[in-house]
């Protein structure tokens, strides 16, 4: 029993150390991504579509502040000619059981003056993993070749790695401003969730590849790994 207790303590210490290192990396990457890619600065040419990653809906059924900022940043790319279309990605949730986050984002974009003909939605995703997978499918079906990702700077490094795993290692990103001005406790919560999400996504990718080796179809894997 003493050996088991000692092993558990060391396991907890190791897990905490890994989390702290990952958290530090997320915070560093947040600052670097913001300075390098703010408002499409890294887009060397206009893209066929910018994929706007949803950030959820508040308890009152309205878009979360982060989601609104992402929509505002994406609409600015559209207005400046840096993106020809926008793909809003986000499924339904507990705070919005009858309408997808993607639809709410599109509605907000229209309120901001965006051309409805240039707005697409991906209304199924419940994670960044699915945001990117499903949005890539929509882009491929419509012949949209050059793509970019729009989100908060702390989120984009992970999103970009997922995109690379799905076959788009060259995809550019565009960070939106405003996260660095939010209340520190809220920022700390988002940073911590993002650090945990890195390891969760590694688990998803390992599971996806493992199931593929076992002969599980992509459709079945999609239902099992979200």
- Asked whether residue 25 is assigned to any structural domain, the reply reads no
Residue 119: which CATH number?
Answer: 3.40.50.620
- Asked whether residue 43 is assigned to any structural domain, the reply reads yes
Query: Residue 148: which pLDDT band, with cuts at 50, 70 and 90?
Result: very high
Cα distances from 209 to residues 19, 25, 206, 212, 223, in angstroms, run 24, 26, 5, 5, 14
Residue 111 is predicted with a pLDDT of 97
- Asked whether residue 66 is assigned to any structural domain, the reply reads yes
The parent domain of residue 40 ranges over: 34-182
DSSP string, 50-86: EEEE---B-TTSSBPHHHHHHHHHHHHHHHHTSBS-E
Closest CA to 175 of 31, 27, 23, 25: 31
Q: What is the pLDDT of residues 7-50, one digit of tens each?
A: 777 778 888 899 899 999 999 999 999 889 988 988 988 999 99
Judge whether residue 1 has pLDDT over 70. Answer: no
Closest CA to 90 of 104, 70, 76: 104
pTM (predicted TM-score): 0.91
DSSP classification of residue 169: T
DSSP classification of residue 118: G
Q: What is the pLDDT of residues 64-98, one digit of tens each?
A: 899 999 999 999 999 999 999 999 999 998 778 88
Count the domains in the chain.
1
Q: Are 226 and 127 in contact (CB under 8 A)?
A: yes
- Asked whether residue 58 is assigned to any structural domain, the reply reads yes
CA distance between the termini of the chain = 38
Query: Residue 5: which pLDDT band, with cuts at 50, 70 and 90?
Result: low
Separation between Cα atoms, residue 226 and residue 224, nearest integer Å: 6
Inter-helix orientation angle 156-165/128-141, to 10°: 50
- Asked whether residue 79 is assigned to any structural domain, the reply reads yes
- Asked whether residue 216 is assigned to any structural domain, the reply reads no
Kindly compute the dihedral angle of the four CA atoms of residues 193, 196, 198, 199, in this order, to the nearest 10 degrees. Answer: -160
Inter-helix orientation angle 101-111/65-80, to 10°: 50
- Asked whether residue 162 is assigned to any structural domain, the reply reads yes
């Amino acid at each position: 029993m003493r050996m088991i207790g000692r092993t558990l303590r060391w396991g907890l210490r190791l897990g905490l150390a890994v989390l702290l290192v990952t958290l530090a990396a997320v915070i560093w990457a947040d600052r670097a991504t913001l300075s390098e890619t703010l408002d499409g600065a890294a887009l060397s040419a206009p893209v066929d579509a910018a994929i706007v990653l949803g950030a959820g809906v508040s308890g009152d059924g309205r878009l979360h502040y982060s989601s609104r900022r992402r929509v505002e940043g994406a609409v600015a790319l559209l207005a400046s000619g840096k993106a020809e279309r926008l793909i809003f990605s986000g499924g339904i949730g507990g705070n919005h059981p009858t309408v997808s986050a993607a639809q709410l984002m599109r509605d907000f974009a229209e309120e901001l003056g965006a051309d409805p003909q240039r707005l697409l939605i991906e209304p199924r995703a419940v994670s960044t993993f699915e945001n990117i997978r499903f949005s890539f499918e929509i882009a491929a079906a419509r012949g949209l070749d050059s793509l970019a990702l729009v989100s908060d700077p702390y989120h984009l490094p992970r999103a970009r790695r997922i995109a690379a795993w799905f076959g788009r290692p060259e995809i550019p990103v565009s960070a939106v401003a405003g996260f660095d001005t939010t209340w520190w406790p809220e920022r700390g919560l988002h940073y911590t969730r993002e650090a945990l999400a890195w390891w969760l996504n590694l688990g998803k990718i390992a599971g996806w590849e493992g199931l593929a080796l076992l002969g599980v179809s992509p459709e079945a894997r999609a239902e099992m790994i979200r």
